[in-house]
Amino acid sequence: MEMQQFYYDNKIVKKFIYATLFWGIVGFSVGLLLAFMFLFPNVTDGISWLSFGRLRPLHTNAVIFAFVGNAIYAGVYYSLQRLLKARMASNFLSNLNFWGWQAIIVAAAITLPLGYSSSKEYAELEWPIDIAIAIVWVAFGVNMIWTILQRRQRHLYVAIWFYLGTFVTVAVLHIFNSLALPVSFFKSYSVYAGVQDALVQWWYGHNAVAFFLTTPFLGLMYYFVPKAANRPVYSYRLSIVHFWSLIFIYIWAGPHHLLYTALPTWAQNLGVAFSIMLLAPSWGGMINGLLTLRGAWDKVRTDPVLKFFVVAITGYGMATFEGPMLSLKNVNAIAHFSDWIIAHVHVGALAWNGFFTFGMIYWMVPRLFKTKLYSTALANFHFWIGTLGIIMYTLPMYVAGFVQASMWKQFNPDGTLAYGNFLETVAEIIPMYWMRAIGGSMFIIGAFVMIYNMVQTIRSGSDVTDDLAEAVPLTKVSKHRTKGEAWHTWLERKPIKLTIFATIAILIGGIVQIVPTLLVKSNIPTIASVKPYSPLELEGRDLYIREGCVGCHSQMVRPFRSEVERYGEYSKAGEFVYDHPFLWGSKRTGPDLHRLGSKYSDSWHLNHMYDPQSTSPGSIMPSYKWIVRDRLDKSDTQAKMRVMVTLGVPYSEEEIANAQASMDAQGAKIQENLHQDPDFAKNYASDKKYAEENGQEFIEMKDREIVALIAYLQRLGTDIKVKDVQKQLSSK
């Protein structure tokens, strides 16, 4: 049969590799800055767009979507063409994928530091950017499926199953979690509220880890590890079991992020059960990857690419053992909200995603430029300093997590908390934060060494844009199974059916968990005393979201003796019915805030935001001076309330019409409370006089952002009286 000649598109692969290296350094650098902010909280004092709360989502988005995202595209575009014996179907879609993705990353890098955030973890970007993500992702998927349909290889290799599963699942997760009603071009509210929003978010959040940080990399593992080792995949049958069991089970596990919260118990238990089951397919994949290297261990000792792959797959195994363990309620009761989770996440991020990306780039670049790696010694140096960096980062965080959990839960013989002051815990783990910063520094040094190595490798190579290849054209594929053909072998040559079956597999878990929570009202019992936020409190809540306070403070008191003693009555599902979005948080760098209302004076809150160490000696919270001095923008308040009405929040037309007057009255009351502090009254009068004498505008305190934030913080947890709520819930 006549051979067909064609060219692989290497140009698009190179673009994504360059983007991976560039955004990797950006994401790592922001992460390192954040690590040092735990040690020097006011290192960016007074600069709003460099505050911790705004930079944290920038770091997570840069690492996940910029660094890892570009690495996925680079690996998929390289491997897919070679597995299918076909060039990418559309140069236009390939370039739309690349430039659209870079534009999204730049938009994120601008909007997140400016405070435009939905606050939903790994999904903080506002609605116009969410739409752009959907468009670019669909362009990637269409190009991939179109190329599959033009393939010259009859059967789809296991890597492609994972690519297809990734495409459909990420699309479903992103669209449903991002549903929101816009207020303006950069402000929207989630269509879900409270418990429902929490469930949908962690259905997305856990599976963003599963289907963006895991399944595409497993596909890349099935391609690049055999290529680098020059060995076949250990077990074809195991890869089949690995794929189908993983995508079916993974989608159910999200609720394990919400154990002991106000989420219905049945949903929590489902999440636990499927999380435990997840251990089997995860370790099946790890075993398949490592055993592919059997007979190639001598090469592992000398080849830095295989060293990176071995540590990456081992990191995947460690993270996927720890995940199911953390879903056990007795373990979760200790680890949740602590730095243990930070260690767990970074084992996966630094080892699995980071090291696999490094190994993949070390393997691809010399081949793309028809040359040899510039320096194997530098690659080995990168491997060892990176490995030590991961160890130096994660081990201290595990220790910090254990220390936090044990101190939070200890009691004196008389029944009082042994460490009643939350800051005692913070002081105890500062040495661990120093070690984390050192480990992160080592990891980023390795990344810089890699960039130098890659630059020199590229300079020594030839600028070959595309690779010439040839293959036999694919004859018409039979629609039916041939005699003796295994069912899955038949499915491997039917990409549309395979994609449909994968979609069904991932939809089952989502439907079973989410639909009852959204539609069955008894799952979220209401509490009559819980009322919507006042206009000023609503604005204050948006400031809380803008500044990323949810990154360090939870708003969920769990039903443990230690938490009830420390924070107050445990949280009830009905308290969050008007919260669009929910703000339960996932980390306690600072104390829980759900019962904060009326605990401190208005003056305390002002001083705490202006200079946290003045009210809380030893605090590592940065100052938020701009909130104290800046004017509150009230221009969208009524529009916000109307959107909330559409979402089911019972504001009346009269309340919306009188919103400005209501804010003025509540703000004036807080300003009056602040004047009871002699120091505040003296400084306020002095500032006002100075402004008048120098012809400067003076913003009345009642019109400043801090007053709105104080109004919101003083409202937290004050809607219920415990005895009344218990009586009401028991009657239901």
Annotated binding site for Cu cation: 206, 256-257
Contact between 389 and 446 (Cβ < 8 Å): yes
622 cis-preceded (ω within 30 degrees of 0): no
Q: What's the rounded Cα separation, in Å, for the pair 694 and 165? A: 65
Which residues belong to the annotated binding site for heme b?
59, 344, 346
Contact between 94 and 77 (Cβ < 8 Å): yes
Q: Which helix (H) or strand (E) holds 470?
A: strand 466-471
Which residues belong to the annotated binding site?
59, 206, 256-257, 344, 346
Label each residue of 102-121 as H, E or C: HHHHHHHHHHCCCCCCCCCC
> Which residues, other chains included, contact 573 with Cβ-Cβ below 8 Å and sequence gap of 6+?
194, 195, 262, 263, 264, 523, 524, 525
Contact between 355 and 379 (Cβ < 8 Å): no
- DSSP assignments along 28-43, one per residue: HHHHHHHHHHTTSTTT
Of the candidates 400, 316, 393, the residue with the CA atom closest to the CA atom of residue 351: 316
- DSSP assignments along 246-268, one per residue: HHHHHTT-GGGGGTTSSS-HHHH
Contact between 357 and 71 (Cβ < 8 Å): yes
3-state secondary structure of 14: helix
Q: Which helix (H) or strand (E) holds 7?
A: strand 4-9
Q: What's the rounded Cα separation, in Å, for the pair 623 and 612? A: 6
Beta bridge mates, 468? 7
Q: What's the rounded Cα separation, in Å, for the pair 586 and 339? A: 10
Q: Which helix (H) or strand (E) holds 314?
A: helix 304-326
**From its phi and psi, is residue 598 left (phi > 0), alpha (psi between -120 and 50) or beta?**
left
Amino acid at 82: R
- Angle, helix 430-460 to helix 376-409, in steps of 10 degrees: 160
Q: What's the rounded Cα separation, in Å, for the pair 165 and 592? A: 38
Structure tokens at 150: 């033009």
Using CA atoms, how far residue 254 sits from 40, 207, 506, in Å, is 34, 7, 13
Of the candidates 150, 173, 4, 148, the residue with the CA atom closest to the CA atom of residue 76: 148
Q: What's the rounded Cα separation, in Å, for the pair 723 and 430? A: 40
Q: What's the rounded Cα separation, in Å, for the pair 428 and 405? A: 12
Q: What's the rounded Cα separation, in Å, for the pair 370 and 576? A: 59
Q: What's the rounded Cα separation, in Å, for the pair 360 and 306? A: 9
Label each residue of 484-520 as H, E or C: CCCHHHHHCCCHHHHHHHHHHHHHHHHHHHHHHHHHC
Q: 589 exposed, middle or buried (CB, 10 Å; 0-12, 13-18, 19+)?
A: buried
